[in-house]
Amino acid sequence: MYRYDEVDFRLVNERVAQFRDQTRRYLAGELSEDEFRPLRLMNGLYVQRHAPMLRVAVPYGMLSSRQVRKLAHIARTYDRGYGHFTTRQNLQFNWPALETVPDILAELAEVEMHAIQTSGNCIRNTTTDQFAGVAADELVDPRPYCEIIRQWSTFHPEFTYLPRKFKIAVSGAEQDRAATLVHDIGLHAVRNAEGEVGFRVIVGGGLGRTPMIGSVIREFLPAKHILTYLDAILRVYNRFGRRDNKYKARIKILVKAMTADGFAAKVEEEWSHLKDGPATVPDGEFARMAEFFTAPAYETLNADDPAFTAKLAESPAFARWVARNTLKHKVAGYRAVTLSLKATGVPPGDATAEQLDAVADWADAYSFGELRVSHEQNLILADVRETDLFALWEQARAAGFATPNIGLLSDIVCCPGGDFCSLANAKSIPIAAAIQQRFDNLDYQHDIGELELNMSGCMNACGHHHIGHIGILGVDKQGSEWYQVSLGGSQGEHASLGKVIGPSFAQDAMPDVIEKIIDVYLAQRHADERFIDTFRRIGVEPFKEKVYAQAAH
């Protein structure tokens, strides 16, 4: 993974000193609330319902075991012993005291981490495929490009005060696991006829209040032009994006107002001045970055080692976990393991300090000391030998990380909701827990099969409810909490936005509602048909009929 050099260290340390001074001036009354707010947000610091919330950047989801141990230490020392992994591959602490935040940032800087631009109206953490570098369907490893974008976006002086937050996702594989169609900018690697690597550039996707699928504004952007082209897009947005209404300030609204063609033309015009300028990325820089992401020292192994296959035959529970929570690796004899942070009864994405320490140990023992965070809020050990899987499974099971539910109903993607977040209209975690409990029988879940359930506590959509096969949105109705259900959303290359099925439901009705939806699917599905495919075939009506007919009694 990327390692800081003297320059990177100097920048994060200067940032810590800057923020320490800003915090001091705020506490001394020299900076007003309004003046401090954008500054603290650009350091990931929210003032929340109970305490400040600090969001730590995990650039494109990559972590070393050393960093994870530091996060565990921070959770223990400055927080209440746990952290929450987010849908942007970041980690949030929910209980730090404001005065201690500069110290936390200093601790993070020691291990090459920071909270820069994890909130605020600026360019946020660039995200990518959690299986980058190991996926069998990969065209190029997206991480060198992500790091180039991370450096370009870090303290970019021209784009420090954008109309609104700005999120970039990069995908290097055929299957889009980075949700590039629902980001402000999505970059999807492609090769042209000459075999050169470039990117399809997608702009104006997003979830939130006005969900939209992005528009392709350029089919092929040669990789060396990536930064000048991003400069051009951001400049057009910075100058012309709306600033009069924060709900209409995302780039998607500008793209829609100008039309995708009109926006593309404006970007191309701006780019004509920047193209081939000093920010053009030289081959040497790509090569330098690629050096950080070389393959680890894999052993030459045979797939399906007899000891491994024997364990599979012996233990159905282990076999089920392998089938569900591990992914085929491009190197024979290895697998990418997803550790589930979605055990029933645990807030989705939460990990305790002890769990973090355990994960760091497993990363060292089994996966070259590295791990990744997925935007589905799980953790990935990307390079585990098949012969180590059984030992890892036993330890992960003991630590509550081996629920074999990846991609199943109880693998719920969920924001912190009204229990923690001051923006939320409604709680989300207790609803997720109630649904997980209703479907706690894993055989039943496996029978239901692949199903993505996403839940957000408000229309800011941190839980990405629009792209859940089943989406749940918390809404406020005259001061009480209700839940709106949508069906038919999906991520990936056929990304679609779910449609609301009808009036919202009370909290305690939600497990029944989900169960009725599942009943319709089970009654109607063809053999081996996934929920989303059944939904696309039969439409929303049968689901509505069942859910609302019953509710009328």
Residues within the interface to another protein (CB under 8 A): 5, 7, 10-11, 14-15, 18, 22, 35, 38-39, 121, 148, 151-152, 154-163, 227, 235, 238-239, 243, 273, 277-279, 281-282, 285, 288
Q: Which of 115, 85, 81 is nearest to 95 (CA)?
A: 81
Q: How far is the CB of 116 from another protein (least distance, A)?
A: 12
Q: How far is the CB of 14 from another protein (least distance, A)?
A: 5
Q: How far is the CB of 202 from another protein (least distance, A)?
A: 23
Q: Quick one: 24 or 191, whose CB is closer to another protein?
A: 24
Q: Quick one: 71 or 148, whose CB is closer to another protein?
A: 148
**Alpha helix stretches (DSSP H) within 154-282:** 226-240, 251-258, 260-274
Q: Quick one: 21 or 196, whose CB is closer to another protein?
A: 21
CA angle, corner 156, sides to 151 and 159, nearest 5?
A: 135
29's CB contacts (< 8 A; 6+ apart) are none
Q: Quick one: 18 or 524, whose CB is closer to another protein?
A: 18
Query: How many residues appear in the chain?
Result: 553
Q: Quick one: 148 or 182, whose CB is closer to another protein?
A: 148
Q: How far is the CB of 169 from another protein (least distance, A)?
A: 20
**What distance in Å separates the CA atoms of residue 452 and residue 468, rounded to the nearest whole number?**
5
Exposure b/e, 102-139, CB count within 10 A at least 16 = b: bbbbebbbebbbbbbbbbbbbbbbbbbbbbbbbbeebe
Q: Which of 435, 471, 478, 439 is nearest to 456 (CA)?
A: 471
**What distance in Å separates the CA atoms of residue 170 and residue 102, rounded to the nearest whole number?**
31
**What distance in Å separates the CA atoms of residue 400 and residue 347, rounded to the nearest whole number?**
12
Q: How far is the CB of 164 from another protein (least distance, A)?
A: 11
Q: Quick one: 191 or 273, whose CB is closer to another protein?
A: 273
C-alpha to C-alpha distances, 497 to 207, 309, 377, 469, 532, nearest whole angstrom:
9, 41, 20, 9, 12
Q: How far is the CB of 122 from another protein (least distance, A)?
A: 9
Q: How far is the CB of 247 from another protein (least distance, A)?
A: 16
Q: Quick one: 7 or 552, whose CB is closer to another protein?
A: 7
**What distance in Å separates the CA atoms of residue 63 and residue 60, rounded to the nearest whole number?**
9
